[in-house]
Amino acid sequence: MLTVVGMGPAGVQLMTPLAAEAVKQADALVGGVRHLAQFPAFGGERCPLGANIAQVLAWIEARQAQNVVVLASGDPLFYGIGTRLIAHFDRENVRVIPGVSAVQYLCAQAGIDMNDMWLTSSHGREVDFDMLASHRKAAMVTDKRCGPKAIAAELVARGKGHRWMVIGENLAQDNERIHWLPVSAVESDYEMNTVVILDER
């Protein structure tokens, strides 16, 4: 059985009991290096996940008779590895245990409700900035290529510099920081971040 579990934005402290139990029952773990490091006592096989997705899919296929658990950041089906696994192995062959997404975590920490929020990601994809600018409340998982500074510049160019950007850095980690800035004032680079963009504070 293939199971993909959401670990939340940082590590085991935000995993659900069901996700933790799936890891305990696993014969093999697949995940990023920082995810695998969260389970030093795990005695089964380990497969690091990075840009080597084709190799990892083949590795999992070779172990279909085993209980393989894939560790995912945040929620596996919110711009995560779960989508790719379901596309490859089919829905009926993949069990998904959801996790707290970085967007959910940031909104909770900042006291922002998610009602009517448009959700997207710039992580490894092109952003439709016109669509982003058309929404009064939006949240985005970002990457180094398109982080808060680049997003702010695109919004300012579309006349949206008055909006607020809430930037969550290193969420659920010891060095977590949350910044509230007018979009026009976002000029720095931020580590491992997620943003919420609001028409008003």
Q: Where are the domains of the chain?
A: 2-97, 102-198
pLDDT for the residue numbered 201: 64
**Would you state the torsion angle of the CA atoms of residues 83, 86, 92, 93, taken in this order, to the nearest 10 degrees?**
-130
Containing 30, the helix (H) or strand (E) segment is strand 28-31
Which positions ≥6 away from 100 have C-beta within 8 Å? 6, 8, 9, 14, 74, 75
Render pLDDT for 42-74 as a digit per residue (tens, 0 to 9).
Answer: 999 999 998 889 999 999 999 999 999 999 999
pLDDT for the residue numbered 63: 96
CATH numeric code, 2-97: 3.40.1010.10
What is the C-alpha to C-alpha distance for residues 78 and 102, in angstroms, rounded to an integer? 9
What is the C-alpha to C-alpha distance for residues 104 and 110, in angstroms, rounded to an integer? 10
What size, in residues, is the chain? 201
Burial of 178 (0-12, 13-18, 19+ CB in 10 A): middle
- Could you tell me the CA-to-CA distances from 184 to 137, 149, 156, 157 in Å, in that order? 16, 9, 6, 10
Low-confidence ranges of the chain (pLDDT < 50): none
pLDDT for the residue numbered 170: 92
CATH number for 102-198: choose from 3.20.20.70, 3.30.950.10, 3.90.1150.10, 3.40.50.1970.
3.30.950.10
